Amino acid sequence: MGAWRNPKLKEINLKAFQQAVSICIDEKVDFIVITGDFFDVSVPELDHVKRAVDIMRVATRQGIEIYMIYGSHDFTAVTVSIIDILHSAGLFLKPVEFELINEKIQLKFIQDKKTSFKITGLSGRKTGLDSEYYYILDRGALESEEGLKIFLFHSPISELTPLDLAHGESIRLSLLPKGFLYYGGGHLHRRIEHKHDDGNSVIVYPGPLFGSTFTDLEDTAQGERRGFYIISYDNEKELTRADFREVKIVDIIFKTIKVNQNTVRQVEDKLNSIIEQMDDLTGKIVLIKIIGILSSGKRSDINFSRFEERLSAKCVLASFINRTNLVSSETTPLKVSAVSIEDIERKVIKERIASFKIDPSISDYKVKNFIQSKLISEQGESSANKLLSALKKEKIENETVHDFEKRVIEEGKVVMGLSETEDSNVNR
């Protein structure tokens, strides 16, 4: 929750969670497990925190206990996460405590009072660092534990992960401890169900309830169902079924425009045509993906805002025109494989800085020296990453737009080393 900048999409994420909890209450489930990435960041906007808390309290007041582990998004090693605060407030339990004994991780169990299930797990970490823990996990101790057991985790499993999601760190299936009735997985934005061991246990990745990226919405529009699982056991505590429950708040329409050496004008004509043909868009999300190479001109020559305004006039809830894969004939494409958004940003910056050259028409030696010191080689990478971080800052609660903009500009100037004197000599 909180991943979208668009407030309407943020609201849908909350509504999806609310609908999921309502289904759980109607079905009279014994307890709920959440396998990480509950929020998009470790310290999210307080409004979203309050709304999420209100939704969870509806469940806990019905006697439904909630168990939650960290994901790679809501975990932080350097400060207090909102997950820690909500756990301290008694809103849910974290079954992630462990001890390091003889260089082995020994996990502790939390026993659910209503059902006697024993729950434990490993939280996610940034850039897949949690994968290292599985190699020093005391699986023998976990497997010898008596009783009904559930294992929660937040890592991709290499044998189960689809090829288009197989990037970054993953763990082998053999690294999971045996003898658990249910293995709840997080991190992957795809629904996966796998019978494990003797067929009486199941590994489940439910995927997101709504999604947090264009790709998530694209997958949904092309048939990927979003929701969660209700796991049922009989009186002998054997798995009887794993039911997927769909959560659907809004319809999503997806269209692709393929460009094959077209001009800017021809691409605009294709956009006009496809928007003209779409009817009854009220309250829906519209995704348009443009792929291909322009014969002339640049992507920036196309006024995409004009087309988004046309979609808005048709009362769409939200619209996206994805032009990442639209390039001009002289553009050198970048292929970047990375674990996280931060990794992708750093690698793209590194590639672009490596190919950056100072404009030979610049004659002012002060400007040249400034560019040389800030935008070339390793200094350029450092400046770009710091500037990107400064520009990502969010508006503080009760901060005015004017004060927010002023603060961001000042932080950007500090990053670039622009004093008042330098401002007069360097064209920002």
Residue range 191-209, pLDDT digits in tens: 999 988 766 789 999 999 9
CA angle 281, 286, 292 (to 5 degrees): 135
Rg (CA), the chain: 25
Grade residue 66 by pLDDT with cuts at 50, 70 and 90.
Answer: very high
Structure tokens at 186: 């997080």
CATH number belonging to the domain at 7-246, selected among 3.30.420.10, 1.10.260.40, 3.20.20.80, 3.60.21.10: 3.60.21.10
Place of tokens 């999210």: 44
What is the rounded average pLDDT of the residues 387-398? 72
**CA distance linking residue 154 with residue 205, whole number of Å:** 9
Q: H-helix or E-strand containing 239?
A: strand 239-246
pLDDT of residue 395: 64
Structure tokens at 154: 């937040």
Answer yes or no: is pLDDT of 320 > 70.
yes
Answer yes or no: is pLDDT of 396 > 70.
no
pLDDT tens digits, one per residue of 233-268? 876 667 678 899 999 999 999 999 999 888 999 999
The interaxial angle of helices 7-26 and 46-60, nearest 10 deg, is 10
The contacts of residue 71 (CB under 8 Å, 6+ apart) are 35, 36, 37, 38, 123, 124, 154, 186, 187
Domain ranges of the chain: 7-246, 250-333, 334-428
pLDDT of residue 333: 57
What is the rounded average pLDDT of the residues 210-222? 92
Active site (catalytic) residues? 73
pLDDT of residue 422: 42
**CA distance linking residue 311 with residue 318, whole number of Å:** 8
pLDDT of residue 385: 84
pLDDT of residue 423: 43
